[in-house]
Every structure is written in structure tokens, then in C-alpha cells.
Structure 1
Amino acid sequence: MRAFRFLLRSVRIVMMLLRPPLSLRVLRTSFFLVAFGAGYGLAGSAAWAVSGIVHEKDGSLSVPEASPLRGQLEITPLKMTAPRDTLSVPGSIVAEPSRVIPIFTPVTGRVASVSVVPGQHVRRGQELLTVLSGDMAQASTDETKARAGLVQARAAMERAQEVKQAGGAATKDVEAARAALQQAEAEDRRAQARLASLSDKTQADGTLVFRAPVDGVVGSVSTAPGVNVTDITAPLMSMEDLAEVWAVADIPEADVDDIHVGQSVAITLPARDGLVFPGQIATIEPDLHLETRRLRAMIPLPNPDEDLKPNMFANVAIQLRQPAGLMVPQSALLMNNDRVTVFVETFPWVFQRRVVTISYDEGEDTEVLSGLKVGDRVVTRGGVLLNDD
């Protein structure tokens, strides 16, 4: 009851402060409660504060001199920002995807030896690993059968043609013999190719030797001596040609419209004492990463000495040459009926709501495309207290 009586007295005070000559104004009084309690109860002490907002006929709001709101509002004149020349984003060094070579085995078998370790430099033709397999003998048998089948198919084709010429065979018999011959030829080619691929890698004892296809670095090794290989679709190891690498820049969602192929960049590597590498964006992924909400842009970098290592951290500065813009603190933006608005001071302590169109965020500020101009005095703190529609 004491709090209720206090509230009534406060209303009377506000009415006295706002009586004529404000009689033509429509009075609307807002009450703000600041409560202090312990836990989830309301048993603690409470303090009440009352402030008034006057709604003018033209739709603007005025804050009377006696209103405590005056101490809670911060008003800032807008200025043009300097042109934004660069966008700095984090990045990293990765191996160029087309230069990462997986090493597969064409046959099942048992790994006999692994001659390299991750990170080791190897030369083209250097031994990587060996696999013991009985598939070489099977490939030789398959090739022999395919060759014999081809001989039989050719003989059958010749007989069919001779019988037809003598008038004793139908055209369909010749066509069937021709189809069988074509199938036999295809099978023979397949068997020969498989045997040849294994013969290039196979020693006299049937051991398959896998050699480095290019000069490079061993990336990953996923097998070991004694392992039985049953899945020929899984790579046993990988090689990386690091003569050229990629710097990958992670572009925030708000800046993706400013990024395009061909833009110049400057890449700084903390691990290389801040050495700067120039480059250009070569490709941009079409989709943002779901977790980071960032877009990846790739910049090729020559790396003849292999000083740039995959997974090194990088700072990427992208040249934008973006014109000067009108920026407003994000704290000034208020949602009203699904529109972005701000409060502008049109006369001392008289405010009007403006609908604005915004573009991108930069730190705590947002670029405004329309609705405001340089010099407008915008409520940048406490605007939510006026946002009582």
C-alpha cells in the first residue's frame, strides 16, 4: 500500500510539471521500475522512478526539463568516415588441393614395409612402401584367360562369316558372333592393362613397390608394416607438392559483397617475422561455412623454398578502395514494425523517429545508406527508453 500511495503522489507531481501551456499536447506517462530482490523473490527493498515523455501532434517526442530521461540519453552528431581502403581478416596456409596426391594400392594384400615418415622430402621415383599380394598371379591368370577367349571369339566370327557366305547362316548369327568378339577384345584389353600396371610395381618375388610420383613432401601416412589392406579405395599415404601453396582468407558474412576474384591482397605471416607476401584472389568458395558464417577466398603463393608450411597462421589485408560512408553506432538502431529506425533530435530535447537503410557492420558501427545525413543528431544511448510505441 505504501508503494501504491507513493506511485499516486509521483503521478500528481508529473501532472503538475506538465500542465498548461502544454495543454495542447497529449500527455503520456511512462513508469520505470527498478527493483532489488534476493533470489527469485520480491521480498527485498524496491525503489520507484517515474519519467514523462510528451507526444507532440506532429508525431515527435519531447522530453521535459524535469524528466529524469535527460540524464539517460546520449546524443551524437553524425560524421562521414574516412574511405575504407583495406579489409583485414584472419587466414592460414594450406596445400594447393591439386598438388595433394593420394597413394592407393590397386590390390589387396599385406604391407611389407613403409620407407618414409610424414614431413619427409622425397624425390620422384623414391620408394615409399611395399605390399605383398597374391593378386599378381591372379592378374596373370586373368590375362591368359582373356587372351584365350579372344582367340575363340575371333575363330567363331570367321566361321559365322564363312557360313553366311555359303548361304547357311542368318545375319543375326553373324551379329551375335561380332558382339561376342567385341566383348572378348574389351576383356583382353582390361586384363592386359591390369597386368601391366602391376608388373611396373612388382618385383620377382611378387612384392609391389610404390614410388613417389613427383618431388614433394610426405603428407600423411595411414598404414604400417604388417597391416592387411582390404579396402583399395582408402589411400595408404599422401604426398604434397609444396612448390605452390594457398593462403585461405576467412571473409565475414557482412563483407562478402566487397570481395571478388582478382583483388590484390597483402599476406603477413607472424611465423616469418611479419614478412609480407603480395598476391591476388584466385577463387572464392560459393558457400559460407555453416559454423563460422565465413566465406573462404584462396590466394596462390609461390613457395620454391617451401618456407610456407600448411596450417601456418596468416593475416590477410584485402584492398577494397571503398568510398567514405556514414556510420552510426549499433546502439542507436531500434526495431519498429520490422523496420530499422533511429531517433533524431530535431530541436533541443525534441526527437523524431527515422526509418533507415543499413549496409554492413564494422566493429560497433553500421553503415547507413539512407534516412540520415551528416550532422543529424542521433540518440546513441538510451533510445530504447523512447521506443515505447
Structure 2
Amino acid sequence: MRTSARRRHAWPCLLIPCLLALGACDGTDAGAGANPAAAAAAATTLGHDGAVVIVPERSPLRDRVIVAAVPSRKVEQPITAPGTVEALPDHLARITPPVSGRVERLQRALGDEVRAGDALFTLDSADVSAAQGDAAKARAAALQSRRDLDRQRLLFDADITPRKDLEAAQLAQAQSDSDLRTAQAKLAQLGASDATGRRLVVRAPVSGRLIEMSVAQGGYWNDINAPLMTIADLRSVSITAAVPEKDLAQVFVGQKARVLLNAYPDAPREGTVRYIGEVLDPETRTVKVRLILENADGRLRPGMFAKVLFSGPSHEAPVVPATALLQSGLFTRVFVEVGPHRYQPRQVTVGASLGDGVEVLTGLRAGERVVIREGVLLND
């Protein structure tokens, strides 16, 4: 019995040293497993020297971060203004009938090409008949006055009539000739020199295309101030841009401009400033600036909207890719290389966009090396 009790008390004494030995062995193995992971994490953690970010030697960021020198480029400051395609004023004719009447016949349809002198429509008008009657009376009166003058001249030469009768005949002949010229001028003004009866043929004053028509055949037209048809020569068109008052000092006649049409955004056109308006629009605070564009293909139509970019003054400035810029709150910054794998954040002010590049106004000098790709990974 005593021997059994002694054995029961001896087992705990033997187990404690074994457990302690096993615990020591487990602690050693765990420490050995944890140390390599900690070492790897420490190797990839970005370091700092004040504001400078340091990329460790074994960090994968060394291969991902791309650095390049900042180039200096010529930067233009273009002036942008909205524009509208318009027909040239001297290539546009609005046809208004000189007298009221009924449109008896239309010789041309909307969209037709016409040449100067082509018949457009025939008008049946009582005013034309009246004007022709007045001209006929004036011609008869002029003929009669010339005969009376010839008769009085023969009688005066024969000492049959006094001089005053001859002078009266001369005055009457001068007056009748004046009345005839007035009647003929009225017919010419109406365009009725070749009119017959009540019919007046209205002809095209210029060559071009019939772009508007406001009457149908058989309709009566009594407003001689409203155009019945419009003819435009659209081989050349005008781009009228509304340039803001603040930019007017940088626009001049002969300046080159680039025109981007809303209808054809992939087909820009080049133009030259021909005219700058003399009057400022008080509501929009803009001035009309006109360019002339060739339109041989007929794709430019009056009323189209466009954006006009006037070439501005150029200057040298550092330019960085857009990928180099990082937004930090309200500010923009870049990472500048200050040493091998050492980068310092720097706040910059940007200007004009130049395709995939951006002008830098302040904060950088040409020749400095900046992070142009994956700089966001340095924002720890």
C-alpha cells in the first residue's frame, strides 16, 4: 500500500519537467515560423525620412513605379468661342416680288440649282398692267410733242408763228420725254421690261441654290416686303463666333483658327479671321468674329453649331503626363525623385490640357524627374 501511494505521487513530478521541455520546444518552433513573415513585411513597408518616401530594396514597388524627366514644351493658350455657320451676306439673295399678285407658275423647286437670270416664277399682277399702260401713254405723248415741235419750228422759220410758240413746244417736248423716261424706269425697277400684259417673270439675281420657298403655285402674294424665295451660294460660308469681351484683345484679323463642328466632330476645319465686329453685344458681352470656310463638298449648312479655337500666344512650360498628377484634397501634387528610390511629394498648379499632357504652372522645373505611373502607391 505504501509503495502504491509513493508511485502515485511520483507521476506528477515526472510529467512537469517533460511538459516544460515540450513547451520550450513549441516556443522555439513558433518563433522560428513567425520571424521570416515579419522580416518580409518589414522589407516591403515604405520608409520615411521626413516628407520623403523611401521604397525598400526588396519592395515590388521598385519595378512598378515609373519615373521620367519633365520636358519643356511650347504651350499655346487657345481662345474658345461658340460659333454658327451662316451664308455669306453677299452670296445670299432674298427674292421679294416688286408688286402684289397671284403666283401663276413656279419655274423652280426648293433645292434646285439656279444661275443668275434664270426664271423663278411668273406673277399675274394688275400693277404690272397699270405700269405698262402708263409707259404707253408716255410714249404716245412724247411722240406727239416731237411732232408739235417740228411743226412749230417750220412755222417759225417761215415767220408765221412767234418765238414764244416755238419755245412752248420745246418745253412740252422736254416734259414729255421726262415723263417717258420715268415710266420706263418704273418698268425696269419692277423687272417688267419684258413683261406681257399682266404677267411678270421674276428672275434670279445671283447664282446658287434655292434654299427657301414661302409660296405655292396659285397662291396670292400681297406683302412686297416679305421674301418669297431665298437663293444662297454656299460654296463658301461664314463661321460667326461670339468672342467674350475679356478675350477680344487676343483676336486679330489674319489669325488662324480651328473649327470643330457639332455635326462632324472628327473632321475639324481650318480658317482665318476675316472680320471683327465693331459693336459689343450688351447682353452677352461678346463680339462677333467672322471666318470664311470653303464648302465645296456642301457639308456645311447655315445654322449648324460649331466650336472655334483661336490660336493664342505660346510660351515654354514644363509638361507632365496626366497620370503623374495626384489629387490630395483641394490640391494637386506629384512625387519628385530626390534620390534613388526616394520620392518627395510636391504641390503643383496646373494649366492647359495638351492631349495626354498637362501644363504645370508652378511647383516644377523642366528636367526634374517625377513619378509618371503608379504614384498613387506611394500615397501611404
Q: TM-score, normalised by structure 2?
A: 0.54
Partner Cα distance (2:108, 2:163) in 1: 64
Q: Which amino acid aligns with 1:105?
A: P
Summarize the alignment of residues 168-317 of structure 1 with structure 2, pairs less than 5 Å apart. Answer: 168-169=162-163, 174=167, 178=170, 180-195=172-187, 197-198=191-192, 200=194, 202=196, 206-317=198-309
Q: CA deviation at 1:136?
A: 3.8
- State the match for 1:123 in structure 2: 114
Query: In the TM superposition, what whole-angstrom CA distance separates every residue of 1:184-237 from its partner, at most 9, and x where no partner exists?
Result: 2233234335556325365xx744343444442223223334443333233212
Asked if structure 2 preserves the Cα contact closer than 8 Å seen for 1:127 and 1:212, the reply is yes
Q: Which ranges of structure 2 fall in alignment gaps of 5 or more residues?
A: 1-73, 318-350, 353-361, 364-380
- Which SS does the other structure have where 2:268 is aligned? strand
Q: Which amino acid aligns with 2:251?
A: I
- State the match for 1:133 in structure 2: 125
Summarize the alignment of residues 358-373 of structure 1 with structure 2, pairs less than 5 Å apart. Answer: none
Task: Give the total of aligned pairs.
Answer: 243
Q: CA deviation at 1:99?
A: 0.9
- Which SS does the other structure have where 2:300 is aligned? coil
- Which SS does the other structure have where 2:284 is aligned? coil
Partner Cα distance (2:143, 2:155) in 1: 19
Structure with higher helix content: 2
Asked if structure 1 preserves the Cα contact closer than 8 Å seen for 2:253 and 2:276, the reply is yes
Structure 1, 252-261 or 215-224: larger mean CA deviation: 215-224
Asked if structure 1 preserves the Cα contact closer than 8 Å seen for 2:75 and 2:316, the reply is yes
Partner Cα distance (1:209, 1:321) in 2: 56
Partner Cα distance (2:107, 2:193) in 1: 21
Q: Cα–Cα, structure 1 residues 156 and 199, in superposed 2: closer, same or farther, change >3 Å?
A: closer
Q: Cα–Cα, structure 1 residues 159 and 95, in superposed 2: closer, same or farther, change >3 Å?
A: same
Aligned residues with identical type, % of pairs? 34
Partner Cα distance (1:185, 1:147) in 2: 8
Q: Which amino acid aligns with 2:291?
A: I
Structure 1, 239-248 or 277-286: larger mean CA deviation: 277-286
Partner Cα distance (1:104, 1:87) in 2: 40
Query: In the TM superposition, what whole-angstrom CA distance separates every residue of 1:328-377 from its partner, at most 9, and x where no partner exists?
Result: xxxxxxxxxxxxxxxxxxxxxxxxxxxxxxxxxx99xxxxxxxxxx99xx
If you compute each CA radius of gyration, which structure gives the higher value, 1 or 2? 2
Partner Cα distance (2:256, 2:174) in 1: 56
Partner Cα distance (2:248, 2:155) in 1: 74
Q: CA deviation at 1:114?
A: 4.4
Partner Cα distance (2:119, 2:162) in 1: 61
Asked if structure 2 preserves the Cα contact closer than 8 Å seen for 1:164 and 1:170, the reply is no
Partner Cα distance (2:292, 2:79) in 1: 18
Q: TM-score, normalised by structure 1?
A: 0.53
Q: Which ranges of structure 1 fall in alignment gaps of 5 or more residues?
A: 1-81, 326-361, 364-373, 376-389
Query: In the TM superposition, what whole-angstrom CA distance separates every residue of 1:74-120 from its partner, at most 9, and x where no partner exists?
Result: xxxxxxxx9654211111110111111111222221123446555x1
Partner Cα distance (1:209, 1:161) in 2: 44
Partner Cα distance (2:277, 2:230) in 1: 24
Asked if structure 2 preserves the Cα contact closer than 8 Å seen for 1:201 and 1:210, the reply is no
Partner Cα distance (1:231, 1:94) in 2: 26
Q: Cα–Cα, structure 1 residues 117 and 285, in superposed 2: closer, same or farther, change >3 Å?
A: farther
Q: Cα–Cα, structure 1 residues 163 and 255, in superposed 2: closer, same or farther, change >3 Å?
A: farther
Q: Cα–Cα, structure 1 residues 168 and 308, in superposed 2: closer, same or farther, change >3 Å?
A: same
Q: Which amino acid aligns with 1:169?
A: R
Q: CA deviation at 1:272?
A: 1.7
Partner Cα distance (1:233, 1:146) in 2: 29
- Which SS does the other structure have where 2:78 is aligned? strand
Partner Cα distance (2:84, 2:177) in 1: 52
Q: Cα–Cα, structure 1 residues 170 and 131, in superposed 2: closer, same or farther, change >3 Å?
A: closer
Q: Which amino acid aligns with 2:84?
A: S
